[in-house]
Each structure stands twice: as structure tokens, then as C-alpha cells.
């Protein structure tokens, strides 16, 4: 019999406000077995639960800076292991590797290297390395104005936008009806700092995956080229990017999608 297809080990990357959260939730609606983890959402959960990590994150996020690489890796690893053991308990099988999509992690080249090491490590949580990198490439002026119009439902991470994606009832979450809030870092001053740390720290991480992808393509030779690891989507709206992103994921991982 055929070996089972590898699980998705996907990353969604892009500047702040590029639509990572919005496109991830569309992807999850179409492919609900994917486990989704957002570094920023996890940090915001720590802040609202007032953990030690949350106290540190509160300051860093308010300034538009970056949390230490090791802290982020530990937090993500813990969460992935928790999801993996929940999944194993639910399906009474430990062999099934879950498909995952990470949003906002890695965010530096060092984090990407640590993630690769962690995924490749032998042991119960070992699995294939990152096998799809989705890069949302949206112009700065577009993300800037989006972020200023953005509202979030903090417990779920759902985001709304006054212009592109307004809630059904102004100021309230569509699902729970709870109040929407502004993120503390969605202010004009902080956005500048976040765009700067994107250029300085995250762009080298993107280059790292782009290079891996190019090298694998070159190694494969003319025949039997694998699909590239790295895919870039340039656009100014999530509606415009969504069909292209869906197609790229569906082409490689068709089993994840519940309907055509």
C-alpha cells in the first residue's frame, strides 16, 4: 500500500497586517484538520493570563520589539507538544502526524534554524521539516492603513477591519457577540517599529527559506522538479490572494480539504 502522505508543515509569513491571520482562518475553514498556532496570539493569551512570560511580552509588544528567540521557541514547542498529545488522545493513535500552520513564528533566522532542529530531532515529536512557506507580500502603505482600522476579538484572535471586513454588529465579535478591542501595538508609532523589525530581523529569515527552496530546485535537475518550498503572493487584498494561496496548498496537500 501507499505510504501515508506527509503532513503539512506550513509557515505563513509576512509583514504586520499582511493578512496572515485572515488568510489562516480561511485556510482552516477549508481544511479544518490543520493545527494553527500564532506566536502573537499565544503571547497575548499569556498577557491576559498574567503569566511571567506575559509580563515580559507586554512591554516588548507595546514597543514593537521582538521577544527572545529561545523564549519563543520554548513557547511554540510546548504548544505543539500539547496539541500533538491532545490529537493522539482523541484519535487513539500516536503514529498520525498532525498538519500544522505556524503564523508569526519563526520571525528571525535564528528561530527558523531552531525550528528546523526541533522538527528534525529524533523522538516522539519528530517529524518532517518545514515543507511549505507562504509569504504574503503586501505594500507598506496598505498594511499601515489596514492596521489603523483593525479591531480584534482578543480571546479568539479573530480580526475585523472597519473597511474590508467589518463585524456584523459594530464593535462586537460575530461568533460570541463579545466586545472588540484595539491591539496596544496597533498605533501609528508602534507600527513603524514593527515594520522596521520586520525588515531587519524577519527579511533575513525569509531569505533563508527562499535560498533553501532555490537550492532544492537546482539540485533536482531538469526532470522531476519538486514543487518549490517557498511561495510568494504579491497583492493588496486578502480576497485577491486567497484563491492563489488555496490552490498552492491544495495542489500539494489535497487530502486536507473538506470540499472542492
Choice from 10, 19, 21, 235 touching Mg ion (CB under 5 A): 21
Q: What are phi and psi of 72, to 5 degrees?
A: -65, -45
What separation in angstroms does the CA of 20 have from each of 40, 54, 150, 225? Answer: 11, 22, 13, 28
Binding flag, residue 160, ligand ATP (CB under 6 A): no
Binding flag, residue 209, ligand ATP (CB under 6 A): no
Q: What are phi and psi of 2, to 5 degrees?
A: -65, 140
Clarify whether 107 is annotated catalytic.
yes
- How far is CA 223 from its chain centroid? 32
Choice from 28, 30, 60, 148 touching ligand ATP (CB under 6 A): 60
Clarify whether 252 is annotated catalytic.
no
Strand, helix or coil for residue 249: helix
Residue 208 per-residue DSSP state: H
Nearer to ligand ATP among residue 39 and residue 127 (C-beta):
39
Q: 64 to 123, contacts with ligand ATP by CB under 6 A?
A: 64-67, 72, 104-105, 107, 111
From CA 122, how far away is CA 58, in angstroms rounded? 35
Site residues (CB under 6 A) for ligand ATP?
16-18, 20-21, 39-40, 43, 60-61, 64-67, 72, 104-105, 107, 111, 185, 194
Q: Looking at the annotation, which residues are catalytic?
A: 20, 107, 150, 183, 194
Q: Give the residues lining the site for Mg ion (CB under 5 A).
A: 21, 40
Amino acid at each position: 500500500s501507499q505510504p501515508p502522505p506527509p503532513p503539512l508543515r506550513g509557515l505563513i509569513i509576512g509583514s504586520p497586517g499582511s493578512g496572515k491571520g485572515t488568510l489562516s482562518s480561511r485556510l482552516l475553514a477549508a481544511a479544518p484538520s490543520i493545527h494553527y498556532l500564532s506566536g502573537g496570539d499565544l503571547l497575548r493569551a499569556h498577557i491576559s493570563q498574567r503569566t511571567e512570560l506575559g509580563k515580559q511580552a507586554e512591554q516588548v509588544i507595546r514597543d514593537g520589539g521582538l521577544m527572545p528567540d529561545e523564549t519563543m521557541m520554548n513557547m511554540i514547542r510546548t504548544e505543539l507538544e500539547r496539541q500533538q498529545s491532545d490529537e493522539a488522545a482523541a484519535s487513539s493513535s500516536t503514529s498520525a502526524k498532525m498538519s500544522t500552520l505556524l503564523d508569526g513564528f519563526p520571525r528571525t533566522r535564528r528561530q527558523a534554524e531552531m525550528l528546523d532542529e526541533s522538527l528534525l530531532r529524533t523522538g516522539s515529536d519528530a517529524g518532517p521539516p518545514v515543507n511549505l512557506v507562504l509569504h504574503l507580500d503586501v505594500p507598506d502603505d496598505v498594511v499601515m492603513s489596514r492596521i489603523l482600522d483593525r479591531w480584534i476579538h482578543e480571546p479568539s484572535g479573530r480580526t475585523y477591519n472597519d473597511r474590508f471586513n467589518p463585524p456584523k454588529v459594530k464593535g462586537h465579535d460575530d461568533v460570541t457577540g463579545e466586545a472588540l478591542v484595539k491591539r496596544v501595538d496597533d498605533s501609528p508609532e508602534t507600527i513603524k517599529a514593527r515594520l522596521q523589525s520586520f525588515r531587519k530581523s524577519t527579511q533575513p529569515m525569509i531569505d533563508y527559506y527562499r535560498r533553501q527552496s532555490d537550492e532544492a530546485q537546482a539540485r533536482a535537475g531538469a526532470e522531476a522538479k519538486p514543487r518549490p518550498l517557498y511561495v510568494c503572493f504579491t497583492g493588496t487584498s486578502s480576497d485577491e490572494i486567497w484563491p492563489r494561496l488555496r490552490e498552492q496548498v491544495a495542489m500539494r496537500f489535497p487530502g486536507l480539504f473538506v470540499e472542492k
